[in-house]
Each structure stands twice: as structure tokens, then as C-alpha cells.
Amino acid sequence: MIIFKCSFWRFIIMYNFHTNTQQWLDISLLFSSFFTLTGSILTLVTKVDAYKVRWKSQYEWAQILVTIASTTLICLGFSEPGPVVVIASGTMVLALAVQRSLPWLSAAGVAYVVVAPIGSLAGGLWMIFWLRQQSYPEWLWIGASVAMVLSFLRMILVVAMRVGTFALLTRKVWTRPIAPLPPRNGPEEVRVSLHVPTHCEPPDLVINTLDHLARLHYENYEVIICDNNTLDEQLWRPVEAHCRRLNAASGKEQFRFLHVEGLQGAKAGALNLCLDHTDPGAELVAVVDADYLAEPDFLSRLVGFFVDPRFAFVQTSHDYRSDDASLFKRACYWEYVAPNRLEYAGASEMRASFTVGTMCIFRRSAIEAVGRWAEWCQTEDSEIAIRLRAAGYDGVFLPYTFGRGLIPDNYADWKRQRFRWTSGPMQQFRRHWRLFLPSRFGGSPHLSRWGKLFEVFRSVVPLTIPMTIAGNVAFAILLPIMVMLDITPQLSVPPVAMLGLSVVMAASVVRTVAEYRVCGCCRLRDVLSAEFAALALSHVCGMAAITAALGGKIAWLRTPKFNSRSSLRNALASVRVELSIALALVVIAITIAFAFETVNLHGKLVALGALVYPLLSFVAAVAMALLALARRPDTGTQAFIDKRAISDQRGNTGTPASP
């Protein structure tokens, strides 16, 4: 046996010396690409439900071994066995090290962590070597070398971040609360004050919200409705009258209506006013948006978390309802829901959860202790969570539905809402960046290291959107010009690079399907429409981040709740910037395709490929604006069915939740 092992390694060493560098780099590139694909398939197969792994822990190494072995068998079709066996062996050793270091990772999580450094190194080294072989200018491959180092460092940060945010796909062990508690009723109930801020809302909508709050399976609570700055009495007088009717029906002053004009601070100002009028005996404060219809067990199953004095807030998932089953609403719905149920659950496990403005409960004393709601911030909800955690409090996010709100009716309102949601975190970063520094440099000792990294990523990542778009467009324009001027040689993309890129793209599709499926999205067309909707928001997210980063003054604009269908003219007006840029990119693409006759086909295809993401982003915005014009009334009362099979303790497993 010893002789066999020595002979094996002697063979590998000798093969190493006699195999050329290009072959090693080619097979490394292919191995990392196919390992990305097989790892994504492993994720899709093993993670079919939130918080659950399909197979038991004792089979995890078999899963990893099969994943690496299948990758090896595929790569043997492209190379002699020597390099493939060496790379596969190294991958197995790295997987063992990762599993020992991070025992809470599932087999799919181990594969995800392992493939990142392999892919980054293989791709970077292959690119540098290829540039040198193709006689590209020295400055170009030196620049590529620097880019590779920076890319590797970025990869480490991204993996560290996504292991947390994608925890539903990578974890097998959970240490934090992952489900609501059994209903809590009786004389020991703590008093809860529910705050409902409103501004220029349809009275029927607010009345429906209050009716649902009146049916909560909880006794010891009050509801404060703060209507701020609504000049039209026909909007708030019916709500005031309905509060009197609800109080008469219950026989107690449970609903209190406040109307105030000239209030500063938008929603945060209204919430602070509600605090001023809160019953002194109320220990907890719940926030419910004017359009959210609460489930009866909203309070009874969440207040129990506050027995632990460390908990300052509990946040539940955003969810939505609609009587419109149009493609626009479906795309918006799944684009909304996926981050809520996937990324926020992972952040909660890493002690970095935050609140999202509705269907959440706070410890009242904690709100007062950190200085109340921030009236300067577009996202006062997530901002206060930073201050609470920095003060030593804890919070939890549960990806369960306890209420459903409305989706904007048109693209302009949807874009306005996302602008606010994106600019807010950047405002938070500008104000609180010192908290995110390492503790020895003055950062908060109460924020976890991962939590600090998460807050930085959440704030800064939208800035990379315009940078990526601008970089792609610049590359597409400069590449054919440089070839035409003989600054660089004609481009000839090797088949191995095209194959590797195709495999990685396929892996990305598989992993995206896995992400949506664990969130309850089981139809491919819904996955595609949600991704298309996310593309449509690229421009507005980038502009929001830039505006906030530069410290520009941003007016707080609410999302209209009236039925506000756009005309064709208004729809096009809402995307005139996106439409103009899309047309400009089409002109650039046509110019590249037909004007540069001296550039070969490979060069043109690579340049045009760089334009795909920018062009799709702006075209998607125009398409979503037009799709919002169509309306398809749903025959039922709920348009979207969530197929999640999460046990929500409401009496069975897999109760569908519908927006």
C-alpha cells in the first residue's frame, strides 16, 4: 500500500513537471466552473425548504465527495488525469478544512465556500497568462494582475457576507429563534401600543386595517392612529368616526385617533408623536403601516420574545396582497419577497437583524433610551435598529407572514419607493460609519464583526451598480477602438473560456432557482419575472445611493395607496431617462457591430456582450413601466399563492400564505 502511494505521488510530481502551464490553467478554469455548477445543483437538491436540509448530517461527506467526484469525471473528458486528480485532491483537502472550521455549514454551504477561492484564483491566473501569451501590452496584464489581487480580496468579503445572508441555503445549525412562539394569552399579557401613521390615505383602506387590528387575538393593547398633514378632511374624518364606532363596539377606548398639521419628520415624526400619546403602562410598541392587514395572532405569538430583557425588537416578513394578477404585480411581489425571506433571516442568525417599518414590535423603553425615531432618515425603521444593537440590545427577524400590504400600481410609485429604501441605508452609513469600525478603532463593541460588514455592504453595494454599468459601457466602446488603432491585437477567445463562462452562467441560474424556491417561489416564470424586475430597478438604486452618498437633500415621499393606474404617456414619462439611455446603448451596439470593419467577430461579440447587462437594465425599466398599464383582475381575493412548506404553528405544516 505504501509503495502504491509513493508511486502515485511520484507520478503526479513527474506529471506536474512535464505538463505545460496553459494546460494546468485551462483545467483549473474548467474544474472551478464545473464545480460551481455541481455545487449549485447540490444546493438545489438538498435545500428544498427553509431551515431544513434534505439529508442527515452523517451523509454530508458523501454529498461533498459525490460533488467533487462528478466534477472530476466531467473534467476528465477535457484533460489527462494528472492535473484533474491534483486539483480534485486539493479541493477535497480545502473542503475538509472548511468543514472543520465552520461545522455549522451544510454540505452545500461547504461547497459554496470552497468554490469561491478556487474560481477566483483560477480565473485570475488564466486571464493574466492568456494576456501575456496573446502579446497584449505589458500595462494591460500588469493591470490584470492588480485586478486579480483586488478581486480575490473582494471575493473573501463577498463570501463572508453571503454565507450569512444566504444562510437558508448554507447552514444546517441554527442558534437563534427561527419560528414564532405559541400564542400567549391571559392575565399575564403585557400591554402593547400599536402605532399606525397615516398621511393622505384612502379612508376605506385605513378602516380595513383598523378592523383587522380590532380582531387581534390579544386583549391588552391600544391602537393610536396618527394622521399627519392631511389637508383634505374627507380623507381623515371617516377614519376618526370609525375609531369611535370600534370603541363603542368594544366598550372601551381602545382606538385613539390623532390628527395634526404642520408636523415635521414625515413617518418618523408621526411615530414620535404616537410615543408622546402612548399609554404609560404600555411596555411594547408595534408599528403597522396604513395598508397592512394584520393576522389575528400577530401579537399573541411574538410578545413572548420580550421576556428576554435583551430583546428590543422582533420583525416579521414583508408580504403583500392584491386583487390584480398582472405580470407587473407578480414580478414586483417576488422581487419584494425573496430578500425578505432569504437574506434577512440569515442576517438575524448573524445578530445583524434590522426592522423594515411594519409588522414589527419594539420594547418601548429601548426606543426611548436610544433617542426615539430619526426624523432625518429616509429609512427610520432600519436606522433605529442600528442604534438599538449598538446600545447592546438584540433583535430577531422571522420570515413569517403576519400581515400583508399593497404593491404600488405603477412603475413611478414603485421606483419612488425603492429610491427611498436605497437612499436610507446610505444616509445611515454617513451618520453611523464610526460604529462600524473595529472596536479598537472606536467602533461599537456591541455590534458583531459580521454585522458591521453587513451594514457597510447594505449601504455601499448599490454604488457598484452605476460603476458596473459605466465600466461595461466604457469597455465596450474602448475595445474595438484599441483594436482598430493597433494598441491591442485582435481578440481571439479560446473555447475553454467560452465553455467555462457558459457553465458558470448555468450555475448562476441553478442557484438563483434554489434561492427563490427556498423562499416559496416554485415557478420558473415567477423567478424570471422577479429577476427582470430587479434589473428594472438598477438605475434608480444606483442614483439613490449616489444622491445619498453626496449628501443631497432628499424629500420623504410616501407610496400612494390610491388606485393610480398610469396612462401610456405618464408611463413613458416615468422612464424617460432609462429610455433615453437604452436608445443610446442601442446606437452604440449598432456602431460596434457595423462600423468597425477591421475588428474581428470575437472582438465585436465580447464588446457587445459587455453591453448586455447595461442594456437589459434600462430596457427592463421601460418594459416594467409598460407592463404596469395592464390589469388582470384576479377571480379570487388573493392573487399570489406562496407555496412555502414552513411549519408556522398555526395548526399545520405548509399552510400557504397568500399576499
The last residue of a domain, from among 390, 407, 424: 407
Q: Do the strands 284-287 and 360-363 form a parallel or antiparallel pair, or are they unpaired? A: antiparallel
Same domain, 623 and 479: yes
Rounded to an integer, the average pLDDT of 260-289 is 96
The last residue of a domain, from among 104, 135, 170: 170
Rounded to an integer, the average pLDDT of 281-299 is 96
Q: How far apart are CA 166 and CA 40, in angstroms?
A: 13
Q: What is the DSSP string of 508-545?
A: HHHHHHHHHHHTT---HHHHHHHHHHHHHTHHHHHHHH
Of 636 and 589, the structure prediction assigns the larger pLDDT to 589
Same domain, 480 and 365: no
Range of the domain at 567: 461-627
Same domain, 604 and 468: yes
Rounded to an integer, the average pLDDT of 621-635 is 82
Q: How far apart are CA 86 and CA 64, in angstroms?
A: 17
Amino acid 606 reads V
Of 505, 503, 493, which Cα lies nearest the Cα of 31?
A: 503
Same domain, 126 and 23: yes
Which residue do the cell numbers 509503495 mark?
3
Q: How far apart are CA 295 and CA 359, in angstroms?
A: 10
Q: What percent of the chain has pLDDT over 70?
A: 91
Same domain, 23 and 71: yes
Of 310, 350, 304, which Cα lies nearest the Cα of 179?
A: 304
Of 284, 319, 320, which Cα lies nearest the Cα of 302?
A: 284
CA atoms within 13 A on the CB side of 652: 6
Q: Confirm whether 656 is domain-assigned.
A: no
Q: Among 180-184, 474-478, 535-539, 643-647, whose mean pLDDT is lowest?
A: 643-647
Q: State yes or no: pLDDT of 139 exceeds 60.
A: yes
Distances (CA, A) of 377 to 8, 330, 432, 659: 64, 30, 12, 28
Output the nine-digit C-alpha cell for 266.
414625515
The phi and psi torsions of 348 (rounded to 5 degrees) equal -65, -40
The last residue of a domain, from among 138, 170, 202: 170
Q: How much is the pLDDT for 56?
A: 64
Q: Confirm whether 133 is domain-assigned.
A: yes
Residue 130 pLDDT grade (very low, low, confident, very high; cuts 50, 70, 90): confident
Q: Among 190-194, 478-482, 555-559, whose mean pLDDT is lowest?
A: 555-559
Same domain, 25 and 144: yes
Q: How far apart are CA 427 and CA 443, in angstroms?
A: 18
Same domain, 162 and 305: no
Report the b/e string of 610-628 with b at 16+ CB within 10 A.
Answer: bbeebbbbbbbbbbbbbbb
pLDDT digits (tens, 9 = 90+) for 335-346: 998 878 889 999
Which residue do the cell numbers 426606543 mark?
367
Q: How far apart are CA 640 and CA 659, in angstroms?
A: 6
Q: How much is the pLDDT for 137?
A: 82
Q: How far apart are CA 538 and CA 546, in angstroms?
A: 12
Q: Confirm whether 160 is domain-assigned.
A: yes
Amino acid 346 reads G
Separate counts of helices (H) and strands (E) for the chain: 23, 10
pLDDT digits (tens, 9 = 90+) for 404-424: 999 999 999 999 999 999 999
DSSP 220: S
Q: Confirm whether 509 is domain-assigned.
A: yes
Q: Confirm whether 219 is domain-assigned.
A: yes
Burial class (CB in 10 A: 0-12, 13-18, 19+), 477: middle
Output the nine-digit C-alpha cell for 305.
420574545
Q: What residues pair up with 257 in beta bridges, in sequence order?
A: 225
Q: State yes or no: pLDDT of 651 exceeds 70.
A: no
CATH number of the domain enclosing 364: 3.90.550.10
Q: What percent of the chain has pLDDT over 90?
A: 69
H-type helices in 102-202, by residue range? 107-133, 138-165, 167-170
pLDDT digits (tens, 9 = 90+) for 237-253: 999 999 999 999 999 99
Q: State yes or no: pLDDT of 143 exceeds 90.
A: no
Same domain, 269 and 395: yes
Q: Confirm whether 634 is domain-assigned.
A: no
Of 139 and 175, the structure prediction assigns the larger pLDDT to 175
Rounded to an integer, the average pLDDT of 17-36 is 84
Provide CB contacts within 8 A for 511, sequence distance 6+: 40, 43, 44, 169
Q: How far apart are CA 223 and CA 530, in angstroms?
A: 35
Q: Confirm whether 183 is domain-assigned.
A: no
Burial class (CB in 10 A: 0-12, 13-18, 19+), 587: exposed
Same domain, 32 and 137: yes
Q: Confirm whether 564 is domain-assigned.
A: yes
Distances (CA, A) of 232 to 240, 415, 552, 561, 600: 13, 26, 31, 15, 66
Q: How much is the pLDDT for 597?
A: 86
Q: State yes or no: pLDDT of 159 exceeds 50.
A: yes
Same domain, 38 and 119: yes
pTM as predicted: 0.89
The phi and psi torsions of 454 (rounded to 5 degrees) equal -65, -45
Q: Among 151-155, 210-214, 376-380, whose mean pLDDT is lowest?
A: 151-155
Same domain, 392 and 529: no
Residue 555 pLDDT grade (very low, low, confident, very high; cuts 50, 70, 90): confident
Which residue do the cell numbers 454585522 mark?
451
Q: How far apart are CA 84 and CA 68, in angstroms?
A: 11
Q: What residues pair up with 192 in beta bridges, in sequence order?
A: 221, 284
Overall domain count for the chain: 3
Same domain, 251 and 361: yes
Q: How confident is the prediction for the chain on average, in pLDDT?
A: 88
Strands (E), 325-412: 360-363, 394-401, 403-406
